[in-house]
Structure 1
Amino acid sequence: MEVNLLDLLNPYLWAVNLRNFLYDRNVLKVCKLGVPVISVGNLSVGGTGKSSLVRYISEYLSKKFHVCILSRGYGRKTKGTLLVSYKGELKVGWEEAGDEPFMLAKVLKGVSVVVDEIRCRGGFYAVEKLRAEILILDDGFQHRRIYRDFDILLLKKEDLKDHLLPYGRLREPLSSLFRADAIVLSYQELNEWDIKLEKPVFKLYRKNWRILDGEGNPVHELKNLEVIAFAGLGDNEQFFKTLDNLGIKVIKKISFRDHYDYKDLKLSQDKLYITTLKDIVKLPSYKNVYYLDYSLDVPGLIELLENAIIRRHRAGSSAGRATDS
């Protein structure tokens, strides 16, 4: 991957490269948590589907293992190690947890969620106190302090022509792709695209779109009505574009900044609104506000994870039992 002149002159590039160099040479040490760790991350600021992919992987792995999602808890009003949920049982609200960890905790049954700004500390808590068997790092690609067994990197087509911060939205140069064990190409249902790399590449499709009310019940008749759409995501245009593609009659689109808290939101009782799961978990129960949800399909990824992680987990468990005896 070539680096353009604008990025070469960017001090941010040299700071990122120095940090990665120190980790690559083991000058900066990592912590190992004793259980398989899967990292899900990206290169750019904003939405590429990280939380959706974490949800997808967690739902599958939790059928066999106690999975704990570990997040920094961006924007939360607390500090330190915080248990957001234990095997699907919510322990705190979204303001204490942060909106994305709370969202995952609310929809994932049987999965635990922990937030900690010092993720090694949070990871040890999950393993030692909660007896987590697999950890999933949400937005973990740049967080190299924790050793991971498998690094999944989400990529948007727009990333290929973007620039590093502050001139663009990239947090790392495209050359950092080499660190990933697998690449997942986002938003294939909007615009199918591909890339050739010497590592596994998978395609992420969003499907089974459904409109739900605040209690999670399907609302079928909304497709024939006019709605106001609003969102506070890293990339709101993806949400609005999806509504257009689904044929939903949107009369107004309101875009808020990512992680918006909606404290000043004023809604009209005679209007219908549609938003996202991440946004609706921060709202009180409105009868005229609905959200769009969906399922993921990433053909081949789960099978690769089973081979790379599950077998390693079983081998480690067998060795542990033999040692204990």
Structure 2
Amino acid sequence: MNLFNPYYYAVKLRNWLYDRGILKSYALDVPVVCVGNLSVGGSGKTSLVRFISNALSEKFHVAVLLRGYKRKTKGLLVASYRGEVKAGWEEVGDEAYMLSKVLKNSSVLVCEDRVLGGNFAIKELEAEVIILDDGFQHRRLKPDLSIVLLKEGDLKDRLLPFGRLREPLSALKRADAVVLSYQDVKEWDLTLEKPVFKLYRTNWRIVSADGKIVDHKDKTFVAFSALGDNGQFFQTLVKLGIKVEKFLSFPDHYHYKNFVLKKEKLYLTTLKDFFKLKPSENLFYLDFDLRVDGLLGFIINNIRAGSSAGRATDS
């Protein structure tokens, strides 16, 4: 089918130009860890960025760099500095705002020009490690380590516009490590000639607007989300035995401008969606921890190896 897909040839040409140095990639003066995927959303990327950022921030000042998808602004904007929120979600985008709210020791910034944003983070924010969120296809900024999340469904999916893949599976050759998502929903495996890690979501909890963990046994919710793959969220609620009277599915990055909470109902959503709504006593979000055995050690070892080998900026 790729033979009849113009998008396939555009992706192939772009990668060919970067592989041969015709289009330039630029390195930064600190380690850059890229966290990306092959499909259009729904792979757990933002959760993994949160997981890695929290771990690395114990030793480094981490700056998370995003494009700021569907924000109302342009250019470079600091979403948070060392945990202090500097902008609203409409200014920096919902993912950047969510990360700025939950990452207490890291900085978060958005910029369409990732090279510009990365250099700003180093010079002005004194970042020691850059985490490039959703940067696997953004090849202008050269990562020191590329981590790609993969869903089991990606193995049988097709390229845009016929499917949800942004690149074919062969693009995994550029990755330094692959993380197999949603093992808690269904365990699956994949053998590759590079490190492969498995992502489990654990310690599920329902949290109220004031940050308290609540017991859901006697509660029934209206569940809603606006993710790249809403089905994963709804499937998780069913598996956890959370009572849901109605599921509401919205497009990814939905703005919720005309969404009204009925006082007599209880609402349950994701962390990203929760922060786009005004706090309410009948609004809750589902949160969790991640377990990815071996990944953090792999990242830290590679960061140290890259630092000891010296760094040079490609200009």
Identify the TM-score tier after normalising by the shorter chain: over 0.9
Give, in whole Å, the separation in 1 of the partners of 2:305 and 2:149.
24
Q: 2:273 aligns to what SS in structure 1?
A: helix
Say yes or no: does 1:205 pair with 2:187.
Answer: no
Query: In the alignment, what sits opposite 1:114?
Result: 109
Query: In the alignment, what sits opposite 2:242?
Result: 248
Unaligned segments of structure 2, at least 5 residues: none
Say yes or no: does 1:228 pair with 2:222.
Answer: yes
**TM-score (ref. length: structure 1):** 0.94
Query: In the alignment, what sits opposite 1:304?
Result: 298
Shift of 1:286: 1.1
Unaligned segments of structure 1, at least 5 residues: 1-5, 320-325
Query: In the alignment, what sits opposite 2:268?
Result: 274
Kept in 2, the 8 Å contact 1:31–1:145? The answer is yes
User: Could you say if the C-alpha distance between residues 30 and 47 of structure 1 is closer, same or farther in structure 2, counting changes exceeding 3 Å?
Assistant: same
Give, in whole Å, the separation in 1 of the partners of 2:271 and 2:90.
15
Which aligned runs of 4 or more in structure 1 are off by greater than 2 angstroms? Answer: 310-317
Give, in whole Å, the separation in 1 of the partners of 2:188 and 2:62.
32
Kept in 1, the 8 Å contact 2:51–2:290? The answer is yes
Query: In the alignment, what sits opposite 2:282?
Result: 288
Q: 1:224 aligns to what SS in structure 2?
A: coil
Give, in whole Å, the separation in 1 of the partners of 2:111 and 2:137.
16
Query: In the alignment, what sits opposite 1:89?
Result: 84
**TM-score (ref. length: structure 2):** 0.97
Query: In the alignment, what sits opposite 1:257?
Result: 251
Give, in whole Å, the separation in 1 of the partners of 2:303 and 2:217.
41
Kept in 1, the 8 Å contact 2:144–2:306? The answer is no
- Aligned pair count? 312
Q: 2:197 aligns to what SS in structure 1?
A: strand
Query: In the alignment, what sits opposite 1:322?
Result: none
The residue type equivalent to 1:39 in the other structure is C
Give, in whole Å, the separation in 1 of the partners of 2:58 and 2:309.
19
Q: 2:214 aligns to what SS in structure 1?
A: coil
Shift of 1:215: 2.5
1:114-153 superposed Cα distances (whole Å, 9 cap, x missing partner): 1001111111110111110000000010000001100000
Kept in 2, the 8 Å contact 1:224–1:248? The answer is no
Give, in whole Å, the separation in 1 of the partners of 2:15 and 2:137.
9
Instruction: Choose which of 4, 28, 31 in structure 1 pairs with 2:26.
Output: 31
Give, in whole Å, the separation in 2 of the partners of 1:9 and 1:70.
35
Query: In the alignment, what sits opposite 1:157?
Result: 152
Give, in whole Å, the separation in 2 of the partners of 1:190 and 1:8.
34
Shift of 1:109: 0.6
Give, in whole Å, the separation in 2 of the partners of 1:49 and 1:65.
23
1:195-218 superposed Cα distances (whole Å, 9 cap, x missing partner): 111000000000000100123221
